[in-house]
Structure 1
């Protein structure tokens, strides 16, 4: 149940409404009805963290979801936001004797913490600086900074190391700037070369020696330049320069060196406040900031960060944001609370912290949009900060911690930009909301209309949902015919094809406007200027009539348009209209009826309707084969060969026409890579009739993969069989996998072709390949009686042996012809038998050796003498349980375990400890329990066996443990100083 306190806190948060409760549909947003809920979620919502600090909170720092809290009882709490239950408490009482903490600085990654201390009463001891790493609870003193009160730290946002911070800048209370690098290096806070990483790099140089209140530096992307921004109580300094040597330390001194004899750029504002605050906004972690804010007594100096605008000034478009003097309730704020304690920047807003409330103002129009009033239950507000990496906003009082949730802070940005007449940005932030975009466009169009930019206004008005009649009337009242035509044309582009009535109305209206303008110019043809205007206007009308939508509309309403032009007496445009909408199909038919085939072909080529090519190509190829085919080829990809196929098939009756058809088909196949199977089949059929020498070239061009060819292989095989093209039949049969048929046909031509076919099947199909080669061998032996060539097969194919082809020879063939082949085959069999015998002998010998070794190991033993000592502790071996290894090394059990533990993995160490614990438990049981049966004894033996397997599987000095430790130092790093002291 919600407590009374939570209800009060929720009620104390007030946000300015984001817009009217109800936007009624009007002329500017026709078609949109937008409702805004009265309880729309505020942009900023305060959420109290479930955390009760043991004492008052003095300081707080947050980075990368790590929170560091300094409390009044000298305890520092370290909290991981992702695991808030795991809090670490660090006592700093011994470091703050007679001192107080003046500053808490945490790097962006949350790894490095700096704590600045100053004397409580301005007396000794001097100011000091301490360092704490995220993985440590021990503070380390930065001795080089003793006596300097550090008031600001510029962290290195490009640093990715967890142990060192990289070069950073520290500002002191006397206007000094230091460069250093902090981190862990053994027991030292800084790197070994301390002097190279600690140096005063600049002095602000103001006479009053004001404290540095803020430092930030960044490397400009895609360049070697760095920009450094430093603030004091009344000034903002900018330092921009190039790092010539990135390896030189200190790094950033190279930039400050440029300003030693040059007046640096600064902004100055008089302020009586004892503090000033600097904040920057990062759109993404580790990126360049995009905006900058500096809080002084006057207000917040806000600027955009742009490194490209001015080489020496990165803070552009500066403006002063005054702190609001009234609250959302309308009451005036007391003068004592006009100056905020601190503030943070978001992308579009700034949150200002006061002792008892938080205000949010828009960075775009300085309007107060949020107010959060705190009660005194948890004390006064102390600070508000923002996590530079996660963007989370945190605020804390003396006894409580709060977090602000940001919800769609860009929701009203479009309206602000619209009010400022920045319409491009306004449309960008409308988030594709049609109602918002329409409002922006209407206002932009109205501004352009007022500024007499009528044509630009017309273009934008056409994209709105404003009343068509009202906008048209506005341009007519101003006699802006050109703007009206622009508006109508733009509206026409946005209409759908089914909006036929609106399309017809607009097209007729635009043509009417053109006719009026052309008629006016025709009546006044005295000057050359009017003639040029007339020509330009006529070109515009021609272009308008060529628009597909307009052309279609005119075609359907041809009589209406014709009567309109006739009423204006415009004969030229009447002729153009007739030519433009001529019925080409009828014209071609008339030419063909009069046998004017060439004129019909010219008309066909000049028009854009491709369907007429499919309709009249057959007749024209019959009468004008060569010109018609040339015309078809000139159309290229615009024609679909499959639709021309009926016309082409009707013209293959004689060789003259067939050759021209073949020319077009070859163009489709070889030039356009047409994949249609019908086209390829038709071309192949013409080849078999009229150009048989082209068949093999065509088949070869299609390849030997049946899945990739474009013709019907079965159909092609039938055509070639009917035409008697045996070689083509061989290739097609092979393509279909009819290997036996292909070889048989190839043998009727020549043996070499048959060999090629026999070599084509897959390497995995050895049975088929052997069958094909034997068929060729049988043909050579029985048909040609060529024994010598048959013998050559034994070298050409490894699958065929002499015994395979012997049955093909007649009984009267003497052995002299293939004596060598038989001898070679017998030698191979004999060699294979010898190899098998040698392998069997070697296996027998190896088995005998293993058998002897087993017998020898059964009789092997080791003697242990009374004087033998442990090789580790050198104490008498028989005093305690021990292990003896075959190599001769001997160890006590406990000595061996102690020496092995550092070499074992974590899993092995855990297993060893578990086995020792189990053995101890079993050993402590009463004797009668262990002797009841064999179960406990077998368990104990098993544990001992597992323990022996783990620690005594190999010798400590002779086994793999010693080999793996060869790269480890003799002296561990943590014992180095002690050992060196002992040796000294």
Structure 2
């Protein structure tokens, strides 16, 4: 639990003072110069040596004060000079306003919001002269700026007694209520009142100005001058401390106590104050030098040894003597309150008090005090926990609080099930026995045989209801007794209970409801479904199916339920959109045969598949093909309305097999749908032929106009329609009307279709109009030819003129780009009289 370990580092001088905080250690050495060693305990190879430039050579470091986060260090010397060092600096700076103050103690402030790391906040300083100061330091690299942002004396102790230790506590997170606890050589003072975190708002002066120093203290004789020491817990963000308890070294013993709730409004923040006598060492070692406190122990330092004493029992749990070298002697202890590490040092070395598993025996103390709940919080093994629970059960049993004892006996593993049950039966405490059985069933996590034994015990006990009136009264809710057992978690059921054995047990006792309840609790829904289906309780079976989470059971049992309750089953499918429709196709196929027999007015399979496609966006070809087949089977009665609606809804992108759809429609003689599919496939000629075959001229005309980009095919299709009208219907006038509907047809295109002896009067006007149009076209062509002839002649004349054109160039002409003689190289001349060398012009381009 405790061990003393010497730090394996040789310091080049005599140790004067040591301070530890936030896993950093600062060691002050006395040599020819005053030196500091700044050590990162997380990286022991990282050691900074810093010289303290004392003003007087005979001056020496006396104390170090390091803030809890190890950012700020104040160094106090024997002659009253004080220096400030910010972490990362290479050299400390003297604090001129602190001159002449022998600092004994400092109460550091927790960081406040938006406060930079380089600021100490408002700190309280106790001096050997009995004065209390408040100060605020701000680290700065500016040579002309001082670190002391604020410094003033705010109080003087009675009789100028030195302030050996000082701590500040904030009593509320919502008000400016603070407490300051300090000690002089033989008094412990408390100052409580309003204070502020900043000097501008008033600081801590108000607390001391209203203080009554004649009564707000505890006076005790002391052995030597020593400050109070505290045990603290870190704030949630790890950027500060909350002080929880304190110790003070006095002549009668260790004076200790707890700091009350942070919201206290009383005149004292100290609670449970008491004096613990010293545990005398095995040999006389003189009086203690210092004492500090951990979570559960006091650490007491003597001149030749160190002790650890339990703060709960006052028992000595650790003692070790120092093996000191000649001229080596103990100086003091140092505590890292944030990291909870403990150190002590001699004039030559540093030791660490290593603490491991400090709270391992705390549960025993609280158990001896019958503080069972607190004891449980400190147990670490199942064995320890079981001992506490068993002791708690025995205590309540001895107090005749049998029901409460039953609750804890059910959690105990020390005593056998039969032994506890017999103890309650011997006292006729059947209510407590029932409580024990129920809790035992809830808590069991042991072997199958034990669980089944308890289960049989309960079941057989409830079976005696009719034979034993007394037991009947005690177990009137027998079914509930058993069902509570089944409320155990699913995992526990799977790993602990012999499921088949339980089912056989209930079946042999005719416990159908309990069997169904057990099956439901462990997720054996198939057993429940088979039961209700065998009873033809279709709606109960469907209710079970909807409550469970396994899609596979829907696929398995839907084929059965769809025969009896198709509408309700389909509704449950719709309420469960995660189902895979492909796995439900067998049930839908079965429903199709039943629906044909029953002649249901609305096909539920069509309703579900439409929901899957339209709402869920299903694109599976098998689903679309099956819905297509359902529409085809009902298309005759509906005159293809439903089928055409389905086909047109997927006109842009088809998820069904188009070839399969065409075969199915042709087989069933569904003309309109077949024509639509022909058109979708780009088979416009077949679509027109099928429309004409079925005498549907309007549908033929619609499909003849669809190949917009292929005028030849359009003309061919329209000629087919015209020929059909002339040949089949003998309707010359209707054939002539096609000339107005299709811009590709002319009278000469359809003339070959007319009979040889047809009367021309019926289309004389159209024929004359066509001839006139041809004549106008011929005249227009003649005019175009004349214009082309004139243009050709003009071009020939221009060419001839260009052949005879020339430009005179003077022999001194220069290139317009390079300004050199033009005639030295190949050149180009433009009609505008600009001249260029060919290569110059090429390079420019």
Report TM bin, short chain: 0.5 to 0.7
Tell me the C-alpha RMSD between the 2 structures.
5.2
Q: Report what 2:108 is aligned to.
A: 155
**Equivalent position to 1:651, from 578, 591, 598:** 591
1:768-787 matched pairs, under 5 angstroms: 778-779=709-710, 783=714
- Is the 8 Å Cα contact of residues 239 and 256 (structure 1) preserved in structure 2? no
Q: Are residues 45 and 166 of structure 1, via their aligned partners in 2, closer, same or farther at CA, if it must alter by over 3 Å?
A: same
Q: Are residues 674 and 474 of structure 1, via their aligned partners in 2, closer, same or farther at CA, if it must alter by over 3 Å?
A: farther
Q: Report what 2:807 is aligned to.
A: none
Post-superposition shift, 1:358? Answer: 0.8
Q: Report what 2:348 is aligned to.
A: 399
**Equivalent position to 1:502, from 442, 450, 453:** 450
SS of alignment partner, residue 459 of structure 1? helix
Q: Report what 2:146 is aligned to.
A: 190
Q: Report what 1:468 is aligned to.
A: 417
**Equivalent position to 2:606, from 662, 669, 694:** 662
CA distance in 2, matches of 1:66, 1:730: 94
- Is the 8 Å Cα contact of residues 235 and 269 (structure 1) preserved in structure 2? yes
Q: Are residues 518 and 364 of structure 1, via their aligned partners in 2, closer, same or farther at CA, if it must alter by over 3 Å?
A: farther
- 1:941-979 Cα deviation digits (max 9, x unpaired): xxxxxxxxxxxxxxxxxxxxxxxxxxxxxxxxxxxxxxx
Q: Are residues 232 and 634 of structure 1, via their aligned partners in 2, closer, same or farther at CA, if it must alter by over 3 Å?
A: same
CA distance in 2, matches of 1:683, 1:384: 87
**Equivalent position to 2:330, from 374, 377, 381:** 381
CA distance in 2, matches of 1:444, 1:606: 46
Post-superposition shift, 1:383? Answer: 0.7
Rg larger for: 2
Question: Does structure 1 residue 104 correspond to structure 2 residue 67?
Answer: no
- Is the 8 Å Cα contact of residues 109 and 123 (structure 2) preserved in structure 1? yes
CA distance in 2, matches of 1:814, 1:723: 55
Post-superposition shift, 1:382? Answer: 0.6
Q: Are residues 51 and 436 of structure 1, via their aligned partners in 2, closer, same or farther at CA, if it must alter by over 3 Å?
A: same
Question: Does structure 1 residue 79 correspond to structure 2 residue 30?
Answer: no
TM-score between both structures, scaled by the size of structure 1:
0.56
1:632-781 matched pairs, under 5 angstroms: 645-653=585-593, 654=595, 656-657=599-600, 659-665=603-609, 682-683=626-627, 685-690=629-634, 713=655, 715=657, 718-719=660-661, 722-723=664-665, 744=682, 778-779=709-710
Post-superposition shift, 1:152? Answer: 1.1
- 1:75-132 Cα deviation digits (max 9, x unpaired): 22323243557552636564364x665432223344443233456xxxxxxx443434
Q: Report what 1:351 is aligned to.
A: 299
SS of alignment partner, residue 506 of structure 1? helix
CA distance in 2, matches of 1:731, 1:79: 91
SS of alignment partner, residue 289 of structure 1? strand
Gaps of 5+ in 2: 519-526, 689-705, 719-776, 782-816, 819-845
Q: Report what 2:17 is aligned to.
A: 59
Post-superposition shift, 1:374? Answer: 0.8
Q: Report what 1:372 is aligned to.
A: 320
Q: Report what 2:199 is aligned to.
A: 249
**Equivalent position to 1:478, from 427, 433, 441:** 427
Post-superposition shift, 1:170? Answer: 1.1
Question: Does structure 1 residue 212 correspond to structure 2 residue 163?
Answer: yes
1:607-646 matched pairs, under 5 angstroms: 621-622=562-563, 626=567, 629=569, 645-646=585-586
Post-superposition shift, 1:241? Answer: 3.9
CA distance in 2, matches of 1:747, 1:66: 97
Post-superposition shift, 1:357? Answer: 0.9
**Equivalent position to 1:275, from 225, 229, 244:** 225
CA distance in 1, matches of 2:625, 2:255: 81
CA distance in 1, matches of 2:363, 2:38: 39
Q: Are residues 167 and 69 of structure 1, via their aligned partners in 2, closer, same or farther at CA, if it must alter by over 3 Å?
A: same
Q: Report what 2:823 is aligned to.
A: none
- Is the 8 Å Cα contact of residues 154 and 208 (structure 2) preserved in structure 1? no
Question: Does structure 1 residue 320 correspond to structure 2 residue 235?
Answer: no
Post-superposition shift, 1:144? Answer: 2.8
Question: How many equivalent residue pairs?
Answer: 662
- Is the 8 Å Cα contact of residues 538 and 564 (structure 2) preserved in structure 1? no
CA distance in 2, matches of 1:687, 1:131: 92
- Is the 8 Å Cα contact of residues 629 and 664 (structure 1) preserved in structure 2? no
- Is the 8 Å Cα contact of residues 102 and 128 (structure 2) preserved in structure 1? yes
SS of alignment partner, residue 239 of structure 2? coil
- Is the 8 Å Cα contact of residues 730 and 745 (structure 1) preserved in structure 2? no
**Equivalent position to 1:88, from 38, 42, 49:** 49
Gaps of 5+ in 1: 1-41, 120-126, 525-529, 563-573, 592-599, 707-711, 734-740, 751-774, 787-811, 817-847, 850-984
Post-superposition shift, 1:169? Answer: 1.6
- 1:434-482 Cα deviation digits (max 9, x unpaired): 2222223222322232233333332332233222222222222332222
Residue range with higher mean Cα deviation, 392-401 or 308-317? 308-317
CA distance in 2, matches of 1:509, 1:640: 46
Q: Report what 2:402 is aligned to.
A: 454
Q: Are residues 587 and 53 of structure 1, via their aligned partners in 2, closer, same or farther at CA, if it must alter by over 3 Å?
A: closer
- Is the 8 Å Cα contact of residues 279 and 344 (structure 1) preserved in structure 2? yes
Q: Are residues 430 and 156 of structure 1, via their aligned partners in 2, closer, same or farther at CA, if it must alter by over 3 Å?
A: same
SS of alignment partner, residue 294 of structure 1? strand
**Equivalent position to 1:232, from 146, 167, 183:** 183
- Is the 8 Å Cα contact of residues 407 and 439 (structure 2) preserved in structure 1? yes
SS of alignment partner, residue 77 of structure 1? strand
**Equivalent position to 1:168, from 123, 128, 133:** 123
CA distance in 2, matches of 1:689, 1:319: 94
CA distance in 1, matches of 2:189, 2:650: 77
Post-superposition shift, 1:181? Answer: 1.9
CA distance in 2, matches of 1:697, 1:283: 75
SS of alignment partner, residue 95 of structure 1? coil
Higher relative contact order (CA 8 A, sep 6+): 1
- Is the 8 Å Cα contact of residues 681 and 716 (structure 1) preserved in structure 2? no
Q: Are residues 674 and 411 of structure 1, via their aligned partners in 2, closer, same or farther at CA, if it must alter by over 3 Å?
A: farther
Q: Are residues 381 and 686 of structure 1, via their aligned partners in 2, closer, same or farther at CA, if it must alter by over 3 Å?
A: farther
CA distance in 2, matches of 1:639, 1:411: 55
Q: Are residues 547 and 387 of structure 1, via their aligned partners in 2, closer, same or farther at CA, if it must alter by over 3 Å?
A: closer
- Is the 8 Å Cα contact of residues 293 and 299 (structure 2) preserved in structure 1? yes
- Is the 8 Å Cα contact of residues 507 and 515 (structure 2) preserved in structure 1? no
Q: Report what 2:240 is aligned to.
A: 287
SS of alignment partner, residue 431 of structure 2? helix
Q: Report what 1:18 is aligned to.
A: none
CA distance in 1, matches of 2:310, 2:514: 60
Residue range with higher mean Cα deviation, 373-382 or 68-77? 68-77
- 1:177-232 Cα deviation digits (max 9, x unpaired): 212122345336735xx6x611223445xx33322222233667964646443211
Q: Are residues 437 and 313 of structure 1, via their aligned partners in 2, closer, same or farther at CA, if it must alter by over 3 Å?
A: farther
Post-superposition shift, 1:347? Answer: 3.4
Post-superposition shift, 1:355? Answer: 1.2
**Equivalent position to 2:9, from 30, 33, 50:** 50
CA distance in 2, matches of 1:373, 1:746: 110
CA distance in 1, matches of 2:509, 2:221: 77
CA distance in 1, matches of 2:779, 2:206: 106
Post-superposition shift, 1:46? Answer: 1.6
CA distance in 2, matches of 1:699, 1:441: 74
CA distance in 1, matches of 2:87, 2:312: 39
CA distance in 1, matches of 2:325, 2:151: 45
CA distance in 2, matches of 1:646, 1:108: 74
